[in-house]
Structure formats: structure tokens, C-alpha cells
Amino acid sequence: MNPMRRLRYRRLREGMELELTPFINLMVVLVPYLLISAVFTQLVNFQVSPPAPTDNTQVAPQAQQMNLQLVVRNNYVSVRDAQGGLIRRIEVQPDKIDLHELGEVLYAIKQRLPNKNNITLLVDPQVNYDLLIKVMDRVRIRHQLDPQGRAVQAALFPDIAMGDAPPASSGQ
């Protein structure tokens, strides 16, 4: 190898240096941003289960108890007992439901059956997701005032099972 070439090669090797300053600057900005934004991220998980199969051939004493169902469709929400039939039908305006009326119906049922914690939501596949979440929130808890006038939350039916709604032509 030519001595001049060897000298130039050595200069190139000695002159190459890894510049970490831009990377460190990026980390200085990125790490606090990610830490700050992580505080505002919250996930809420609902524990839902598939509906229990209804078998009318075996009628046990426990089966005499109300099997509460809520059928959610785009144009109405019906509160019903699987054995007893329709309790109340609440009409839904375009993606808007009277949540107060639904809450009062569920609260009246909870007053009659204070130990009952489960309900089955039968949802039509075309139902708006926001409407479904609002209904689920109303089914789980009720906002009310305590004797001192403070707002508190009371549990209605926190154990929610979900399934598909029966066909609309079945008179639901």
C-alpha cells in the first residue's frame, strides 16, 4: 500500500467520531413528554360475561327469581324479565335515550330485589357504540344525593352479561 494512501486512511479512521448530541437532545425532550402524557391515559375495564343459557325444562326454586334482561336496539331499549316478559319499553331518539327514565326503572327493580346484581344486555349489532356505553354505565351505577346533599354513586347491577339481541320481529 502506498504510504500516502496509508496516511490518508489513518486520518479518516481517526477523524470519524460518533456524534451523540442530537440523540441526547431528542431523549431530553421525548422522555418528559412521554412521562407527562402517560399520566392522562386511563383505561377502564368492564367485566362482562356471556349470557347464561335459558333452559325452561328445569324449573328450580332459584329459577323463579327474576332473570333481568335489557334489549338494546337503535329505536328502543326494553327492560324485561326472561320468564315474565316486558317490564318497560323506552323509546330512543336518534342516538339519544332518556337515561333518567332507564335509571329510575332499574332503581325500582333494585329496590324490590336488593340482592340481585346481575343483568343480561342483549344488543342489536347496529347499535351505536356510544349509546351502548351510556346504557352500560346507567345499568352499573346510579347517581343520587345522600341525606347531606352530596352526590354519591349507588350500585345497581354491576354484573353484566352481554349477548346478541333476538330478531326484532319476535315482539321484543
> So where are the chain's domains?
3-37, 66-167
* pLDDT score at 2: 64
Digit-coded pLDDT (tens) for 120-135: 888 888 888 888 888 8
Digit-coded pLDDT (tens) for 12-40: 566 667 788 999 999 999 998 888 877 66
All residues at 6 or more sequence positions from 70 whose CB lies less than 8 Å from its CB, including other chains = 77, 78, 79, 80, 119, 120, 121, 122, 135, 139
From CA 162, how far away is CA 78, in angstroms rounded? Answer: 15
Q: What is the percent of the chain where pLDDT is above 70? A: 73
DSSP letter (8 states) at residue 63: G
The CATH classification of domain 66-167, taken from the options 1.10.3720, 3.30.420, 2.60.40, 2.40.50: 3.30.420
Would the pLDDT of 45 be above 80?
Answer: no
**Contact call for residues 75 and 91 (beta carbons, < 8 A):** yes
